[in-house]
């Protein structure tokens, strides 16, 4: 039975604030940190129940609000393979968080136990971590109370990045099995990534120094440790590493700032040389944006789409080089926000699939390829190698030394890439690997294709729930008639493309537009927004 007394006693210390509706969305629970105490307590209980449901497998809990402003915070559950929480539990989480009183909470939990057929006699094992937000420490205390109420076996992974927490979950659950993922420590993560990187770039000439904008977040701590592991192999300069300065987190820096403003973080201006590549992490180091400024000071962004293009083409080349063309199929997954020029470039080379926004959709679609490359334009993504592909690569006997080299590179990529979730530091080493192999500068990488000018705008509407989409969010089915009007507008713009969808993380509707000329992309976006409003 549920430990009702323990839950009640502790729940009374973490009452739900009235009038706040908490929803487990694509980013977990996320809102003002000061309102989240009851949510964290309840997530502790949920994590323990999820673990019991999965026969005592380790569940992860990450306390972060990623690229959001510093006063925000949030929490996400991580499933045993290091992946996002299974879809059906999102609704359970929302329901449990909504219970207005302790009595209602007990009732909601009892319902969940019955509905999900949870065997409460099973053990519960949970590992948790947080980013550098000031509200994090007290939220973790609330989480610990929830875990304590359930008698869960816990491990505190401290202050670390989201992808490292995902890595730990996968390692803990595969320890001692033939799918062992790595040593379950931050040290193990650093050794795995840096070891693979060193092997991959052996014999390649060292690249010029790389500037990393750490968004004044937890990525600064991890990047510093990684830099020491890399030593001479990669010269890293970490900037925006003020993790304890109030208000600094994600403020005029970080991957989201770069993507949304399409500008260089002002704090980098005096460090970056013309043509020198730099990159920005977001507040929990699961997103990555590269960029450079040219001789005239013009800013050029190398976003998730450019990363996907660079990486996918490289992997296709290695598969060919290994003599496995036709046997291992490489595919790319994007969302409707992928730049049209990237979709064109990639489609000419390999299969490309478009799915709805949200990492879980990309991740699942990527699992359908032998090697699935997925990136959101905003810089979140990774590469998945199917178990059969890993097996085939390990057991394949190469016919030539060149084939042998290509296979070794692919095997080292498997170690380098964090396959659980998008990982800014792992992705950064992946990009650096390809640049070293191709002897590309940022300018050469950028010239793979030229981005279509585009514009993304938010529209505040009375009820975003009336907006319903189909075809991977590229077309509206409701409100009826609106899509026809959008189509009519789009036809008037050269290279025009536009779509409208409700945000899953904010109370807005997003309008995206592309056209051959920037002013036209802007105009199209605003005219479509005018139809929505
Ligand atoms: P919404 O708010 O549903 O557009 C945003 C991002 C997604 C994804 C999620 C989760 C855009 C246009 N949308 O989703 O790509 O990152 O947040 O964080 O960037
Ligand atoms: Zn993030």
| 313-369 pLDDT, tens digit each | 999 999 999 999 999 999 999 999 999 999 999 999 999 999 999 999 999 999 999
Ligand 1 close to Cβ of residue 128 (< 6 A): no
Ligand 1 close to Cβ of residue 25 (< 6 A): no
**Inter-residue contact 267 to 226 (CB < 8 Å):** no
Question: 505, 509, 511, 513: which to mutate for ligand 1, most atoms within 8 A of CB?
Answer: 505
Ligand 1 close to Cβ of residue 287 (< 6 A): no
- Helix then strand count (H, E) for the chain reads 18, 19
Same fold, 4-159 and 454-532: no
d(CA 133, CA 68): 10
d(CA 168, CA 185): 7
Beta strands in 145-304 (DSSP E): 153-159, 210-213, 236-239, 278-281, 288-293, 299-302
Kindly give, in sequence order, each residue whose CB lies less than 8 Å from that of residue 285, ignoring residues fewer than 6 positions away.
Answer: 161, 162, 163, 214, 217, 218, 219, 222, 223, 423, 424, 425
Residue range 304-424+433-446, CATH number: 3.40.120.10
* H/E run at residue 511: strand 509-514
HSE-CB at 251 with a 13 A cutoff on CA atoms is 13
8's tokens: 């009640």
d(CA 58, CA 129): 13
Mean pLDDT value of segment 280-303: 97
Q: Which residue, 522, 502, 526, is CA-closest to 514?
A: 522
**125: confidence class by pLDDT, cuts 50, 70, 90:** very high
β-bridge partners, 279: 212, 290
Note the pLDDT tens digit of each residue in 138-197. Answer: 999 999 999 999 999 999 999 999 999 999 999 999 999 999 999 999 999 999 999 999
**134: confidence class by pLDDT, cuts 50, 70, 90:** very high
| pLDDT score recorded for residue 506 | 84
Note the pLDDT tens digit of each residue in 66-84. Answer: 999 999 999 999 999 999 9
What CATH class has 454-532?
A: alpha beta
Q: What ipTM describes this predicted complex?
A: 0.97
| pLDDT score recorded for residue 171 | 98
Q: Which atom of ligand 1 is nearest to the CA of 456?
A: 12
Note the pLDDT tens digit of each residue in 377-394. Answer: 999 999 999 999 999 999
* H/E run at residue 456: strand 454-459
Mark whether 66 is an active-site residue. Answer: yes
List, as one string, the DSSP characters of 339-399: -HHHHHHHHTTS-EEE--SSHHHHHHHHTTSSEEEEE-TTS-EEEEE-HHHHHHHHH---S
Cα 164 to ligand 2 centroid, rounded to whole Å: 12
Query: 187-300 has which fold?
Result: Alpha-D-Glucose-1,6-Bisphosphate; Chain A, domain 3 (3.40.120)
- Domain borders along the chain are 4-159, 187-300, 304-424+433-446, 454-532
d(CA 432, CA 439): 10
| pLDDT score recorded for residue 146 | 98
3-class secondary structure, 155: strand
CA dihedral 128, 129, 133, 136 (to 10 degrees): 30
**Inter-residue contact 434 to 440 (CB < 8 Å):** yes
Residue range 4-159, CATH number: 3.40.120.10
Ligand 1 close to Cβ of residue 360 (< 6 A): no
Does the pLDDT at position 5 exceed 90?
Answer: yes
| pLDDT score recorded for residue 159 | 98
**Inter-residue contact 367 to 387 (CB < 8 Å):** no
Question: 26, 303, 335, 359: which to mutate for ligand 1, most atoms within 8 A of CB?
Answer: 26
β-bridge partners, 78: 60, 84
Note the pLDDT tens digit of each residue in 232-291. Answer: 999 999 999 999 999 999 999 999 999 999 999 999 999 999 999 999 999 999 999 999
| pLDDT score recorded for residue 507 | 87
| pLDDT score recorded for residue 12 | 98
Does the pLDDT at position 26 exceed 90?
Answer: no
Note the pLDDT tens digit of each residue in 446-490. Answer: 999 999 999 999 999 999 999 999 999 999 999 999 999 999 999
**Buried residues in 39-59 as b, exposed as e (16+ CB within 10 A):** bbbbbbbbbbbbbbbbeebbb
d(CA 335, CA 472): 7
Q: What is the mean pLDDT of the chain?
A: 97
| pLDDT score recorded for residue 249 | 98
| pLDDT score recorded for residue 9 | 98
Catalytic residue among 66, 342, 426, 498: 66
Does the pLDDT at position 505 exceed 90?
Answer: no
Note the pLDDT tens digit of each residue in 37-50. Answer: 999 999 999 999 99
Cα 341 to ligand 2 centroid, rounded to whole Å: 25
């Amino acid at each position: 039975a549920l430990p009702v007394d323990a839950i009640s006693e502790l729940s009374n210390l973490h009452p739900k604030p009235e009038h706040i509706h908490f929803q487990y969305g694509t980013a977990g629970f996320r809102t003002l940190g000061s309102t989240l105490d009851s949510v964290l307590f309840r997530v502790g209980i949920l994590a323990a129940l999820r673990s019991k449901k999965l026969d005592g497998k380790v569940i992860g809990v990450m306390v972060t609000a990623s690229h959001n402003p510093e006063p925000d915070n949030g929490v996400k559950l991580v499933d045993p393979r290091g992946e996002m929480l299974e879809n059906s539990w999102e609704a359970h989480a929302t329901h449990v968080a909504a219970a207005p009183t302790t009595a209602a909470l007990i009732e909601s939990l009892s319902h969940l136990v019955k509905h999900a057929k949870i065997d409460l006699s099973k053990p519960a094992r949970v590992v948790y971590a947080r980013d550098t937000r000031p509200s994090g420490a007290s939220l973790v205390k609330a989480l610990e109370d929830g875990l304590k109420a359930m008698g869960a076996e816990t491990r505190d992974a401290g202050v670390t990045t989201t992808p490292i927490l995902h890595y730990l979950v996968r390692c803990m659950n595969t320890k001692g099995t033939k799918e062992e993922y790595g040593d379950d420590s931050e040290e193990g993560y650093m050794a795995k990534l840096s070891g693979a990187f060193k092997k991959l770039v052996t014999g390649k000439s060292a690249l010029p120094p790389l500037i990393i904008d750490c968004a004044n977040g937890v990525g600064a701590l991890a990047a510093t440790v990684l830099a020491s592991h890399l030593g001479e192999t990669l010269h890293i300069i970490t900037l925006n590493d003020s993790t304890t300065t109030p208000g600094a987190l994600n403020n005029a820096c970080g991957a989201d700032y770069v993507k949304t403003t399409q500008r260089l973080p002002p704090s980098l201006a005096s460090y970056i040389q013309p043509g020198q590549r730099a990159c920005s992490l977001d507040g929990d180091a699961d997103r990555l944006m590269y960029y450079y400024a040219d001789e005239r000071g013009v800013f050029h962004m190398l976003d998730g789409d450019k990363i996907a293009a660079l990486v996918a083409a490289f992997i296709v080349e290695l598969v060919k080089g290994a003599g496995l063309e036709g046997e291992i199929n490489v595919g790319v997954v994007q969302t409707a926000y992928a730049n049209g020029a990237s979709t064109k470039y990639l489609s000419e080379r390999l299969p490309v699939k478009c799915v709805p926004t949200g990492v879980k959709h990309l991740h699942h679609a990527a699992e359908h390829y032998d090697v699935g490359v997925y990136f959101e334009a905003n810089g979140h993504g990774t590469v998945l190698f199917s178990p059969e592909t890993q097996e085939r690569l390990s057991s394949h006997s190469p016919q030539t030394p060149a084939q042998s080299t290509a296979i070794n590179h692919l095997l080292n990529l498997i170690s380098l890439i964090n396959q659980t979730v998008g990982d800014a530091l792992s992705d950064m080493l992946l990009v650096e690997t390809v640049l070293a192999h191709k002897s590309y500068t940022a300018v050469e990488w950028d010239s793979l294709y030229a981005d279509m000018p585009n514009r993304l705008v938010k529209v505040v509407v009375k009820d975003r729930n009336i907006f319903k989409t189909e075809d991977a969010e590229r077309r509206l089915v409701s409100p009826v008639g609106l899509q026809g009007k959008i189509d009519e507008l789009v036809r008037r713009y050269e290279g025009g493309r536009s779509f409208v969808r409700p945000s899953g993380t904010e109370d807005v509707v997003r309008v995206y537009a592309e056209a051959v000329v920037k002013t036209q992309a802007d105009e199209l976006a605003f005219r479509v927004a005018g139809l929505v409003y």
